[in-house]
Chains A and B, each alone.
Chain A
Amino acid sequence: MTGAALRFNGIGKEFPGVKALAQISFEARPHSVHALMGENGAGKSTLLKILGGAYIPSSGTVQIGEQTMDFKSAADSIANGVAVIHQELHLVPEMTVAENLFLGHLPSRFGVVNGGLLRKQALACLKGLADEIDPQEKLGRLSLGQRQLVEIAKALSRGAHVIAFDEPTSSLSAREIDRLMAIITRLRDEGKVVLYVSHRMEEVFRICDAVTVFKDGRFVRTFDDMATLTHDQLVTCMVGRDIQDIYDYRPRERGQVALKVEGLLGPGLREAVSLKVHKGEILGLFGLVGAGRTELFRLLSGLTRSTAGQLQLFGENLHLRSPRDAIDAGVLLCPEDRKKEGIIPLSSVAENINISARGAHSSFGWLLREGWEKGNADQQIKAMKVKTPNAEQKIMYLSGGNQQKAILGRWLSMPMKVLLLDEPTRGIDIGAKSEIYQIIHNLAASGIAVIVVSSDLMEVMGISDRILVMSEGVLTGELNRDQADEAQLLQLALPRTRA
């Protein structure tokens, strides 16, 4: 089947309350590396999940060559020569490289694994890709880049001729990236269809032969002449409008220092972190995945304990032993992973909003006051414009944006001094995004100190007054709004240990 093109015909995918993809149609040809680009939440990952058989599309078909595919499971997709290399690799760290390569079809006789044959086949698989890896090694001992190579070797050993990479370089060093690029180029020359999802412009311009841009789950256009495509053209196409008007930035009055962090050390931080955020200020905290931003937030919200350093809130020392301490002090966190750490999915919207503030509004601290419960829920739903049929709806049925607004409502029920937002708009559609930016601005204007963690460069530059950059557990730089540019921020965010 090598040499066949991959076609998407009118692919659509709906989740309750959300249209993740609509009418996606394009072709990726063999002998080419085809980039998929778009902002976070544009639908690239959803498309890859459909290709990999993890999601079944609500409409449309996937076609390879002349054949229409009907992937019902990941196994279907693998059997038809498709391999999707995800950001989180699907490998077992506790098993050896060889076992991982042949997981599910280990060479065996009467159920007994043939160790010698396994080793030989594994060596053959890795040859030319990663000769230095010993198949007997436990996978967990390899570097992330090496693990990725194992995943690629596994895909090739199963005869994959359509290979999709989802943000493959997000946690690789420069040398590992170079090696990956060389391998991808080789796969292309062998006639494979390569799909390449990445945010990194320089990589896309370096190895891709075509780019398809997505926006809000829709196909925008495909560029197939990379020589004439400019960087700016691509960005404009991705953003689709003037960046300024989504973020709706307005200058604000900056007040006294609200939160002062001095010499803070703890899990996930390699060097002591010191920072200040002022009343009425929006401080952006940019970094790549694994830079230690979330870990810093976990320390500031009392979820983990610091090993050194000091926190001061309006000049008073702050000792955090639990999230409750931070909440009582007015330091409130909207966590990164809404589903895992933010919402209580089976509970109602009202329940999710009232959970933190209700203690202070109950008789004797534990008898709920029905009046307050209902009043506060309704008030926050209205103020945050949470779209829900009623306050009793289970929050799991709401879209990501509305869940995020409900969590903001939870914190607005409390006396708030500092608001920590970890990736506040990840996976949220563009309409809800601009509403959330509006809310953040209004909060800052009312005198709240806001820290926003984001890996979305446009977002950080769009909403922040000041930007701090983190890389590998270290604070690497600080820029004011007017000094910040994309290249400089990325430079600061990239790991230093690179060759």
Chain B
Amino acid sequence: MSQVKTAKGFWPGFNQRKFLDDWVMLLAALSIFVLSALFIDNFLSPLNMRGLGLAISTVGIAACTMLFCLASGHFDLSVGSVIACAGVVAGIVIRDTDSVVLGVSAALAMGLVVGLINGIVIAKLRINALIATLATMQIVRGLAYIFSSGKAVGVMDERFFVFGNGQLLGVPVPIIITVLCFVFFGWLLNYTTYGRNTMAIGGNQEAALLAGVNVDRTKIIIFAVHGLIGALAGVILASRMTSGQPMIGQGFELTVISACVLGGVSLSGGIGMIRHVIAGVLILAIIENAMNLKNIDTFYQYVIRGSILLLAVIIDRMKQR
């Protein structure tokens, strides 16, 4: 337990600790960006910036709703499989019906259903989220392989490519969607009863229930929305690659959770802000990008990424003392 710290920082009304908690990781992301820009050739080149933006987009979109899962004290391992399956479903339906709208809708519906199942199993049947989503992760991955017979499903319809390769005022569409997600889910978390109830459940589920929060329904919505948004990320990825690939996104769920935790979202629930997510996603993506530009061996990249994550959670732990 730490002592009460109040307005006694540099100037009145300034809460040093709160400022640190809120902004330190975003500042860290910014410093890493500036350092990379200064010391790595071509880092700021339009081509690289574009690549960096696209790298952020898939993780960033999925991380927005993973934030809600984590904030409520749970997590979702099935998101990587949902991404792959959504691409496959979209590809198959577009191939068979020639309708982009139907294809995308089918993919999103699939994500929603998987999310609903996760939510119901976790909230109503009280199954641990780790086990429940570990199971759906494998089921959905299997379905992706079954639907596609294990091969990439190519898409010819150019209207589909707008999600991944389109541009608006020179900005790639995936980046625009990612930014919109950050804004929307940040708003949802802070300014709606749904968002506040999510935090309350993660902070103390028993107390939230006794305070009249509909805990089960809120949890089901959290997972359903996460499934839906995971599928959206999958559609965008498939569009970028012009095909739905059943093997894509292995280990993606762990990248998303790492990004959130790296940014400061608590794994045990009750603590989390959209700026944590933005910071975590940025840090991971910039470091990866920098390592690629520096031609660092992939094997070493794993070690470095893992070390950064470990360091981040240790720092977080120490901050709480």
Q: Which A positions have Cβ atoms within 8 angstroms of B?
A: 15-17, 301, 303, 322-324, 327-328, 333, 335, 340-347, 351, 355-356, 358-359, 362, 365-368, 370, 389-390, 393, 396-397, 410
Contact = CB atoms under 8 A, between A and B. Distances in A.
Contact of A355 (B1, B4, B6, B196): B196
A25 to B, nearest CB: 26
A410 B192 CA distance: 18
Given A351-B200, A389-B4, A344 B208 contact: yes
11 contacts: A323-B211, A335-B210, A341-B206, A343-B204, A344-B199, A346-B270, A351-B199, A358-B196, A366-B192, A370-B191, A410-B211
Contact of B211 (A17, A340, A355, A393): A355
A345 B270 CA distance: 9
A324 B3 contact: no
Contacts of B193: 358-359, 362, 365-368
A492 B315 CA distance: 55
Contact of B200 (A324, A327, A342, A347): A347
A303 B207 contact: no
Interface-centre pick from A301, A327, A341 (highest chain B CB count, 10 A): A341
Contacts of B197: 355
A301 B208 contact: no
Interface-centre pick from B1, B3, B209, B212 (highest chain A CB count, 10 A): B212
Interface-centre pick from B7, B203, B209, B270 (highest chain A CB count, 10 A): B203
A405 B185 CA distance: 33
Contacts of B1: 15-16, 396
A344 B191 contact: no
B109 interface: no
A16 B207 contact: no
Interface in B176-199: 191-194, 196-197, 199
Interface residues of B, number: 27
Contacts of A393: 4, 6
Contact of A303 (B6, B200, B209): B209
Contacts of A359: 193, 212
Contacts of A15: 1
Contacts of A396: 1
B308 interface: no
A326 B124 CA distance: 21
A126 to B, nearest CB: 39
B277 to A, nearest CB: 17
B214 A389 contact: no
B265 interface: no
A324 B210 CA distance: 8
Nearest to B4: A397
A346 to B, nearest CB: 4
A346 B271 contact: yes
Given A322-B214, A351-B196, A359-B193, A344 B6 contact: no
Interface in B255-281: 270-271
B191 A367 contact: yes
Interface of B: 1-4, 6-7, 191-194, 196-197, 199-200, 203-204, 206-214, 270-271
Contact of A347 (B2, B3, B7, B203): B203
Contacts of B3: 16
A362 B196 CA distance: 12
B6 A389 contact: yes
Given A340-B207, A355-B196, A368-B196, 14 more contacts: A15-B1, A16-B2, A16-B4, A323-B210, A341-B206, A342-B210, A344-B199, A344-B204, A344-B207, A344-B208, A355-B197, A355-B200, A365-B193, A368-B192
Nearest to B205: A344
B205 to A, nearest CB: 9
Contacts of A345: 203-204, 270
Contacts of B271: 346
Contact of A333 (B7, B191, B199, B210): B210
A288 B210 CA distance: 24
Contacts of A390: 6
Contacts of A327: 211-212
Contacts of B211: 323, 327, 344, 355-356, 410
Contact of B203 (A322, A344, A358, A389): A344
A393 B15 CA distance: 11
Contacts of B2: 16
A322 B207 CA distance: 13
B6 A347 contact: no
7 closest A-B pairs by CB: A344-B203, A327-B212, A346-B270, A389-B6, A344-B204, A324-B212, A366-B193
Contacts of B6: 389-390, 393
B301 to A, nearest CB: 34
A81 to B, nearest CB: 30
B28 to A, nearest CB: 22
Given A347-B199, A355-B196, A301 B204 contact: no
Nearest to A354: B196
A13 B6 CA distance: 22
A459 B72 CA distance: 38
A404 to B, nearest CB: 13
A225 B109 CA distance: 80
Given A15-B1, A366-B192, A368-B192, A344 B210 contact: no
Given A323-B212, A366-B192, A368-B196, A17 B4 contact: yes
